[in-house]
DNA sequence: CCTACCGATCGGTAGG
DNA sequence: CCTACCGATCGGTAGG
């Protein structure tokens, strides 16, 4: 929203923390590790953030909001269930590939949130999953999809999406759009010739 | 292999550690937490295990070996690619549901292994993934499967399998056999009516 | 399996 | 953003 790209020092701290959390995990990353990676003293971090966990909260809820708002857009579109499922998958992968490090933290480290943040986070996540589940259920009701177990279907989809930060290379040949479409194809039409 | 079910104290320590590692993560679980859960003093743990990491090594490599040996059996069978893929999936889910806690640790905590163990573990994992990849590739070569991206296909499968410890309830209505077959169906024939 | 203890490191604060 | 420092906790050892 600004003409000058201005990343606040707080954002820089959070970004660097995300990198370390991703590689070593939240608990195994110390504030001294983080300070060191930024070239400052550990105590200086606290002029930018209130606590170690505040960083994790920023990362987890920031990503949750990105995923949620995009999926809401998709839901509002008036298309077939296949198209809606496809659009939801593509949207998710787009956000993920734009924020690979944060996505990995979002997926793997949220359990280190304390209460009531953990509870809130899990509610957001179950809500997100249920939105996809509803899309699949609608497809079944309309006869567009076969009568699969929606829980298994949505968990298969969700785990595929969650695992992507582990192997997807945004510098590689395949763009988020194609990857999303290929995943959608595989889920919708299967492997069978 | 014994008539009397005899769980060594070491195994009890490892099992209890697996529970704590699963819930709180390896780094966030202290040896005092573990000792407390067993009703002994932290120092007493070291009569059974050499170090905290030795516990993790036992868990990770123990599970890796279970998965590997079962998949090798499946590979030796002379059946179609669909059937082989299906059998591999069912075998994986069987092992997982028999060792849910250990599977979760195997999946989420292996990164806390130090070198050279981490490297060795990752080699075992890539080998396991490649075995599934080969089954899919053979199916494509024989015209049994359509020409999908094998990397995407195998990653989708692998992430589904890995994520199961998060939601699969072995006390629930669906047994490992059925779950495996349903997942195989979904991947092979898709959702499309 | 215990008591007693080690040096290292943790997240964070006070005060500038 | 720094120096100086806090109490708590870490994985692990010595010696029984």
Per residue in A59-117, pLDDT (tens digit) is 999 999 999 999 999 999 999 999 999 999 999 999 999 999 999 999 999 999 999 99
Q: How far apart are CA B151 and CA B137, in angstroms?
A: 10
A190 in reach of chain B (CB within 8 A) = yes
**Are B41 and B63 contacting, i.e. CB atoms less than 8 angstroms apart?**
no
Length of chain A: 193
Quick one: pLDDT band at residue A32, thresholds 50, 70, 90?
very high
pLDDT of residue A191: 81
Please name the member of B112, B145, B179 whose beta carbon is closest to the beta carbon of A192: B145
Per residue in A132-162, pLDDT (tens digit) is 999 999 999 999 999 999 999 999 999 999 9
Quick one: pLDDT band at residue A2, thresholds 50, 70, 90?
very low
Q: Does position A15 have pLDDT exceeding 60, yes or no? A: yes
| Closest CA relative to residue A71, chosen from A87, A83, A58 | A87
Strand D within 7 Å of which CB atoms in B 129-188?
Answer: none
The reply to whether residue A186 touches residue B152, judged by beta carbons under 8 angstroms, is: yes
Query: Chain B residues with CB inside 8 Å of A143's CB?
Result: 193
pLDDT of residue B190: 86
pLDDT of residue A154: 98
Query: Chain B residues with CB inside 8 Å of A144's CB?
Result: 192-193
State, as a whole number of angstroms, the distance between the CA of B116 and the C1' of D9. Answer: 28
- Look up the pTM and report it: 0.93
- Within 8 A by CB and 6+ apart from A71, the residues are A88, A91, A92, A128, A131, A132
Helix axis angle, A52-76 to A117-141, nearest 10°:
20
pLDDT of residue A130: 98
Query: Chain A residues with CB inside 8 Å of B28's CB?
Result: 27, 112
pLDDT of residue A81: 96
pLDDT of residue A62: 98
Q: Does nucleic acid strand C have an atom less than 7 angstroms from the CB of B40? A: yes
Burial class (CB in 10 A: 0-12, 13-18, 19+), B14: buried
Q: Report H helices in B39-173.
A: 52-76, 81-98, 100-108, 117-141, 150-163
The reply to whether residue A162 touches residue B163, judged by beta carbons under 8 angstroms, is: yes
**Are B111 and A25 contacting, i.e. CB atoms less than 8 angstroms apart?**
yes
Q: Does nucleic acid strand D have an atom less than 7 angstroms from the CB of B30? A: yes
Quick one: pLDDT band at residue A190, thresholds 50, 70, 90?
confident
- Within 8 A by CB and 6+ apart from B80, the residues are B139, B144
The reply to whether residue B160 touches residue A159, judged by beta carbons under 8 angstroms, is: yes
pLDDT of residue A4: 53
Which residues of chain B are modeled with pLDDT < 70?
Answer: 1-5
pLDDT of residue A3: 52
pLDDT of residue B183: 97
pLDDT of residue B1: 46
Per residue in B73-125, pLDDT (tens digit) is 999 999 999 999 999 999 999 999 999 999 999 999 999 999 999 999 999 99
Query: To the nearest whole percent, how much of chain A has pLDDT over 70?
Result: 97
Average pLDDT over residues A49-55: 98
Q: How far apart are CA A132 and CA A164, in angstroms?
A: 17
State, as a whole number of angstroms, the distance between the CA of A44 and the C1' of C5. Answer: 33
pLDDT of residue B192: 80
pLDDT of residue A182: 97
């Amino acid at each position: 929203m600004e003409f000058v790209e201005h990343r606040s020092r707080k954002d820089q701290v959070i970004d660097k923390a995300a990198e370390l959390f991703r590689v070593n995990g939240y608990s195994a990353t110390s504030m001294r590790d983080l300070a060191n990676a930024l070239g400052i003293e550990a105590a200086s971090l606290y002029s930018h953030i209130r606590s170690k966990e505040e960083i994790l909260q920023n990362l987890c809820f920031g990503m949750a909001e990105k995923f949620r708002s995009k999926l809401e857009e998709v839901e509002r579109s008036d298309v077939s269930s296949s198209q809606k499922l496809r659009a939801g998958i593509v949207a998710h992968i787009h956000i993920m590939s734009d924020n690979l490090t944060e996505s990995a933290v979002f997926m793997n480290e949220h359990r280190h949130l304390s209460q009531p943040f953990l509870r809130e986070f899990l509610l957001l996540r179950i809500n997100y999953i249920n939105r996809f589940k509803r899309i699949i259920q609608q497809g079944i009701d309309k006869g567009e999809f076969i009568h699969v177990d929606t829980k298994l279907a949505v968990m298969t989809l969700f785990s595929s999406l969650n695992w992507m930060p582990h192997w997807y290379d945004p510098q590689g040949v395949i763009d988020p759009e194609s990857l999303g479409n290929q995943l959608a194809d595989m889920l919708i039409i299967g492997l069978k010739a």
